[in-house]
Structure 1
Amino acid sequence: MSLEHTTEVAVYRRADAPTEQRVADLLARMTLDEKIAQLHAAWLKLSADGDHKARSIDFAQSANSLTVDQILEHGLGQITRPLGTHTVDPKEGVRALNELQRKMIEDTRLGIPVMSHEECLVGLMIKDATLFPSPLNYAATWNPSLVGEVGRIIGEQARSIGCHQGLAPVLDVSRDPRWGRTEETLGEDPYLVGVLAFHYVNGLQGERRDVLATLKHFVGHSASEGARNHAPVHVGPRELNDVFLLPFEMAVKLAHAGSIMPAYHDIDGVPCHGDRALLHDTLREKWGFEGLVVADYAAVDLLYSHHAVAHDSASAAALAFNSGLDVELPGHECAVHLKEALERGEITEATIDTAVSRVLRTKFQLGLFENPYVDPERVDVKGTAAADTAYQVALESAVLLRNEGGVLPLQADGAQKIAVIGPTADDPLALLAGYSFPVHLINSGEQSVASIATPLGALRALLGEERVLHAKGCDIIKERRAGAPVFPGDVSLDLSGSANRDELISEDTEGIAPAVAAARAAGVAIVFVGDLAGLFQSGTVGEGSDTDSLELPGVQLQLLTAVVESGTPTVVVMTGGRPYNLGGLEDRIAAQIMAFAPGERGAEALADLLVGRANFSGRMPLSVPKSAGAVPYVYNHRLKSAGTPIAYHFGSRYPFGFGLGYAPFRYSDLALAQREVPLEDGTVELSFTVENIGERDGTEIVQIYVRDQHASVARPVRELKAFARVPLAAGAKARVRVTLPVDMLNFTDARGERIVEPGDFDLMVGSSSRDIHLRGTVTVAGNAVRTLPRDWRMLSAVEVVS
């Protein structure tokens, strides 16, 4: 059916009309079916000839028998991952998307265009797109501008394929590295997460704001019971606000993020997708959020099928949309039953209209009605500049944790043999995070990583084939199998559906002896260990791939022990999505590097660092607990978290903010501009000197921590409040100035409001959360507690002044 016939152009079709008039005009013309169609997505395998196929899997679009034509009859809110669902050439994928868009515009009554969303956490999750390092790598750079550049590049690539919404960034604050999705986080500090989120969102959305960033998972997803996927969360309202909500608040208020995705779990029994206090009262009323709230995949259905707080699909839809949801993703399991919920009085049409209005407003603001199509010839998802940025992130994020005896850097032009050992040394997939396209498609039996260099190949290219010996030693996973044991990461109620992890992890030790022989034949052994990302227990880390241990998966520790006992100086390079312990070998190895998942150019970056062509500057974005028995351990704990007396297993060998380089630095001459600042609008100002006392150029990451000496509630032992990268040539020094708004000394009171109390605050300048070099105290002067306004000052500033 063609568009409505009218003697004059409808208001909603006039680009010069005010957006609110266009929304009101279009909403008034819509039937209930047309409204509901805007409140859900469809997960289809698109075709340029218009022969689109429904994608029906266990957790989406399997509960009803609607045909594709029936799904699209009244229009559609969003199309789910049109290029990321399967392997398709990007240009062909755009042609297919254009055909769907044509159908929406020409073959529906009102001609409302459809929005397209894709995953984009570590680059567009489609064929051929740049494979960036993991978010833990982003955080380990401590370089907000670089993270913003990553977001900008991903945003440009998204625009080129007609993507209007990217499902990133993840702002879950890491609290337990056993959690499989730790690899998706920006670390354990809420301020660091918030600053990097602000820059990533600004970069992704761009000045035109024609691609929406999606903040997820709202909120507290990383604090689940036992670090298990989807498990309940038990945090009090103060901790929820001060730790987990802060990065979201920063990204909403500072970067005006276009969308938010609630989390799967419940908090104190209330599932996030059915929590109006969270999705409406806090997000919209308190913070002023004006964007879209979109469901995590199948989460609306889970209100009924798992949480059991709704008695059927219609009830689940009513609960979610009453709570503040705008769009159900990835399909239409529950939204299509809103009519039934309306008839039963479980939701009102006014509530439906509110959500529809937000969807329409977003489409108008994106310019979709004026520019619905994309030129396939302008697709650009991979280029030299993007690859170079991926390399720079990998370079700046690798963390040198130990370097004894000067083993590193390796001599690039020497004759010494180098043994390259370990299961991740020659596996391109070991360089990639779980939300990269090749790893995501392991579950469908597809992946293509032939173009990605491995550490073995990169070292051979730098050092020469004849100098590099190789022995794999062992596997982590013998065979990467298609299909996931469980989805979406939950077992059945009787636990009979739980996967047998022992069938996945290799216990074969036959390769250890050849590896030891290679080590003995070399002057240095570099052992590459870690884990492999994979969804829902198809890997050892990633969404649904949680663990009960911080020991290296499989027999990697046996391999490493045997190599160390060979007597050859051993360098450990760990890649993957979480830190692991080395079973006491930390004191016996010559050097250790934490590289996380460094992406498509990661091997090249690691090789350049190992031979000294570049200097290490990465710093840990999360702590490495001494054992699984020590978790949860984070640097910004409260004093009594350590127990009384302090538990022997408490703490971290390598704490938050820690990292070494090939040049040491010295701190001196701390000065405070004022010893006392006003509570109402004060700014703490301090300065200090940093000097490179080494023989190589390097970059120091200066970190400023604060502790409230006395407060009305127990406060953390220290909290990060400012940081910056300070590059210095050998022998050079710099004066660094920090300005810190008093507003940032806040915490949450019993009313749920952010307050600042007068009193004394310790200021600590260090190179990590443990290594504090300079200390001072400032007094915040005032007669009463101050409640912060909505637009409180959230950011500090650090600058090199001389």
Structure 2
Amino acid sequence: MRLTLFVFLVIGIIACSKEQSGEPAYKNPELSAEERAKDLLSRMTLQEKVAQMHCVWNDKAKFLLDTAGHFDVEKARKNFKNGLGQVGRPSDTKGGLDAYQTAVLTNAIQKYFVEETRLGIPVFYHEECLHGHAAKGATSFPQPIGLAATFNPALVENIFTLVAKEARLRGTHQALSPVVDVARDPRWGRVEETYGEDPYLAGEMGVAAVKGFQGDGSFKSGERVVATLKHMAGHGWPEAGNNIAPANISERVLREVFFYPFKQVVQRAQPGSLMASYNEVDGVPSHANKWMLRDILRGEMGFNGYVVSDYYAVRELADREGLFGNSVAANGDEAAKLTIEAGVNIELPEIDCFRNLDSLVQHKIIAESLIDELVVKMLEYKFRMGLFENPYVDPDKAKAFIGSEENRKLAHEAALQTITLLKNDNKVAPLARDKVKHIAVIGPNANRILLGGYSGEPTFYTTVFDGIKQKAGDKIKVSYSEGCKITTTSGWSQDKVAVPTVEEDRRQIKEAVALARTADVIVLAIGQNEQVSREAWSKEHMGDRTTLDLVGRQDELIDAMVATGKPVIAFVFNGSPLSFNNLVKKVPAIFECWYIGQETGNAVADVLFGDYNPGGKLPITFPRSVGHVPAYYNYKPAARRGYLFDDVSPLYAFGYGLSYTTFEVSAPVLSNAAIKIGDSVQVSVAVQNTGTIAGDEVVQLYIRDKVSSVTRPVKELKDFKRIMLLPGQQKTVKFTIAPEKFSFYDINMAWTTEPGEFDIMVGNSSRDQDLKHVLLTVNR
């Protein structure tokens, strides 16, 4: 006690002496970030406060840079004498800067704000880091929907630890990731950005990602960045699958499904930032939703960071020219007022509706106390990041580390763990090297860069064709034919999407058939590309779909390949589920790859030749058709009664995935057959590799409340573990079911556990036939 008092006394003396010597308290690193932020706020003019709520992105070319893309100090002095909150994506300057160039630019801009503005408040840089820093030279990992297929949170944490370091070394302070939206509509073009359809899985992966980005939250290493949880809330179930459309969701579903991953991440990983969603819920756009951002997020969940707007979403509360408007505000000033009252701290990406905040305060339209509340939290994170003491980065370190050969190992491992085997009739895969002399690699995705949305330009990339050719060596001939095209254009960010003519495709299919007839086996690379399922952000840039079928003449290509009589092994690359019924019916071996990053070809080759045994599982249901949507597994009892002339079951179920080996999961055993409300219980299963090849299995735990005051899903994922087993090896997997895993919002909207019987299910997918049961009784 005496030691603690002495320490506080010493800190106080140091603070007082610095203050007396003319050094303001906010420059004292011995004080806490909160204390320093409050002191700094007290010294700021209204204009300086408002400046911290401003950001520039594309406008940095106008306000901060010269025509060559270099920092222009005179422009900065003219436009930002009161400081600036954030600069968006410095790495995309002039079409893309490498690591060294970005570090030099961020240092130059930072030097002005630190050394030439009155209070020396550093600027924050934010970047997109969805599956790697979206910048030139950065390491590129699988899309989040693919990372979810790994069912491996530890791997995800390691990935985003590396992503954070690559971003931070360039000068980045904030990553606009991870996305924990629950994806309930496969037509939606942003499915690839999510961790799938299940709230529990999304929550676990989100927690892992934020821990990777932020570490212990101290940021002392200089290798971490502030994570931004996206997008609150309901974004993943838009009306008709149209991006940013209304989310017609009840409060109970909103709380149990869409809020759930946000709550888990906020309470277990303490993200520094969160982004509000474009969509509306019950007539209220999220950026104007006080209940969502204040009562739920800050109140019930205990969020202690700052909220950023999605790009141009504040403007959309009124009317965004050329797109649409929610019309809950008549103009930008009214939109700003609604947004600030809802609790959004900063407008991204440009100075728009927040431009007149000082005037709105002076005219008493917005209270200055609201500005203070929102600004102080952003200042706090600038102190937490250590920017007042260490505002610059080392360009040489950035150049040496970012996108390095060493970083490829983790990207390769992530790609391998993502690949999911859906079908393997007659054990067509893996290929035996001594039995194959000629492989025909065919398809529109066989020799194409496939990274998906929000991607950078990795230093390394291997196509499917190149990876197989390299792995095959000199003894196996590997040939390539495109077969047909998905689109004749390319580029996720490009507005234009053009498709080939029937004549062009059929000519290419004929060429592919001629090649295939000379080969021993056909490797077919098909699916989507970055243009046909993506974020739709304007009328000229669409990305949502009305069909889940393969685009173009890919089914014709499949038919032609099967007709040759040669064995066909398909690798499917895509950002969202596909209803590839023809493929499933006719092709004996199918691998779901999603977009697996820069090591695509190397990972595919390892799996094809059996150097790696695939163990991924589907993080989202594959419907039989678009008419089966919604198709998520955790439906209510009355939701899947059946269809006339069609099967109601999915094409492939959530959690499904095969292996080159086989596994046996025993019946689950409870530590207690009956427990009291508030108690935990342990569930154990024995898992054995009954095959001849080492492999990974994902053991999944599901629960159903058999009788309840409101309807409950037929099953809900509540835990999972990915384990590796050698041939013949057996392991016991234990799950502890905590009390909250039995809870739900009851008839009175109270979070509660009701007494009764619970069906505990353990297996290797969500399918009924893959689960074994035990009954648990919960008593009062």
TM-score normalised by the chain length of structure 1: 0.88
Letter in 2 for 1:112: I
Counterpart check, 1:74 vs 2:82: yes
Cα distance between partner residues in 1 of 2:501 and 2:217: 49
Distance 1:107 1:52, change over 3 A: farther
Q: Secondary structure at the match of 1:596?
A: coil
Q: Secondary structure at the match of 2:688?
A: strand
Partner of 2:416: 395
Counterpart check, 1:767 vs 2:764: yes
Partner of 2:168: 159
Deviation string 1:631-650 (CA, Å, 9 cap, x unpaired) is: 11101111211136788343
Q: Secondary structure at the match of 2:38?
A: helix
Letter in 2 for 1:390: A
Match runs of 1:393-432 below 5 Å: 393-428=414-449, 430=450, 432=451
Cα distance between partner residues in 2 of 1:538 and 1:699: 33
Distance 1:653 1:713, change over 3 A: same
Partner of 1:58: none
Partner of 1:475: 485
Cα distance between partner residues in 2 of 1:643 and 1:329: 45
Counterpart check, 1:115 vs 2:124: yes
Partner of 1:495: none
| 1:557 shift after superposition | 1.4
Cα distance between partner residues in 2 of 1:285 and 1:731: 51
Deviation string 1:347-366 (CA, Å, 9 cap, x unpaired) is: 21111111111111121122
Letter in 2 for 1:254: R
2:188 aligns with one of 174, 179, 184: 179
Partner of 1:10: 24
State the identity %: 37
Match runs of 1:722-801 below 5 Å: 722-749=719-746, 752-770=749-767, 771-782=769-780
Q: Secondary structure at the match of 2:163?
A: helix
Cα distance between partner residues in 1 of 2:437 and 2:238: 48
Letter in 2 for 1:468: V
| 1:44 shift after superposition | 5.3
Counterpart check, 1:619 vs 2:617: yes
Partner of 1:95: 104
Cα distance between partner residues in 1 of 2:614 and 2:21: 68
Counterpart check, 1:689 vs 2:708: no
Cα distance between partner residues in 2 of 1:633 and 1:149: 32
Contact 2:227 2:273 in 1 (8 A): yes
Cα distance between partner residues in 1 of 2:166 and 2:455: 15
Partner of 1:204: 213
Partner of 2:626: 628
Letter in 2 for 1:275: N
Distance 1:218 1:568, change over 3 A: same
Letter in 1 for 2:268: L
TM-score normalised by the chain length of structure 2: 0.91
Match runs of 1:658-737 below 5 Å: 658-680=656-678, 682-737=679-734
1:562 aligns with one of 547, 560, 563: 560
Counterpart check, 1:323 vs 2:316: no
Cα distance between partner residues in 1 of 2:194 and 2:274: 16
Q: Secondary structure at the match of 1:301?
A: helix
Letter in 1 for 2:489: E
Distance 1:543 1:769, change over 3 A: farther
Partner of 1:496: none
Cα distance between partner residues in 2 of 1:53 and 1:24: 39
| 1:293 shift after superposition | 0.3
Partner of 1:289: 303
Partner of 1:572: 570
Distance 1:238 1:505, change over 3 A: farther
Distance 1:328 1:95, change over 3 A: same
| Pairwise CA RMSD | 2.5
* More displaced stretch, 212-221 vs 340-349: 340-349
Deviation string 1:504-525 (CA, Å, 9 cap, x unpaired) is: 4664322011112222222221
* More displaced stretch, 394-403 vs 571-580: 571-580
* More displaced stretch, 703-712 vs 553-562: 553-562
| 1:248 shift after superposition | 0.7
Contact 1:564 1:588 in 2 (8 A): yes
Cα distance between partner residues in 1 of 2:238 and 2:681: 36
Partner of 2:148: 139
| 1:266 shift after superposition | 0.8
Deviation string 1:230-260 (CA, Å, 9 cap, x unpaired) is: 1111000111111111111111000111110
| 1:539 shift after superposition | 9.9
Distance 1:506 1:298, change over 3 A: farther
Deviation string 1:157-185 (CA, Å, 9 cap, x unpaired) is: 12211211101000011111111100011
Distance 1:678 1:384, change over 3 A: farther
| 1:731 shift after superposition | 1.2
Partner of 1:259: 273
Partner of 1:437: 456
Cα distance between partner residues in 1 of 2:777 and 2:79: 63
Cα distance between partner residues in 2 of 1:420 and 1:616: 20
Partner of 1:643: 641
Cα distance between partner residues in 1 of 2:406 and 2:493: 35
Cα distance between partner residues in 1 of 2:407 and 2:644: 48
Q: Secondary structure at the match of 2:434?
A: coil
Match runs of 1:501-540 below 5 Å: 503-504=498-499, 507=502, 508-509=504-505, 510-534=507-531
Contact 1:623 1:655 in 2 (8 A): yes
Deviation string 1:653-703 (CA, Å, 9 cap, x unpaired) is: 2101101111011122532110111102x1121212111111111111111
Counterpart check, 1:170 vs 2:179: yes
Letter in 2 for 1:618: G
| 1:562 shift after superposition | 1.6
Contact 2:181 2:235 in 1 (8 A): yes
* More displaced stretch, 745-754 vs 150-159: 745-754
Letter in 1 for 2:328: V
Q: Which residues of structure 1 form unaligned runs of 5+?
A: 56-65, 439-448, 486-498, 783-802
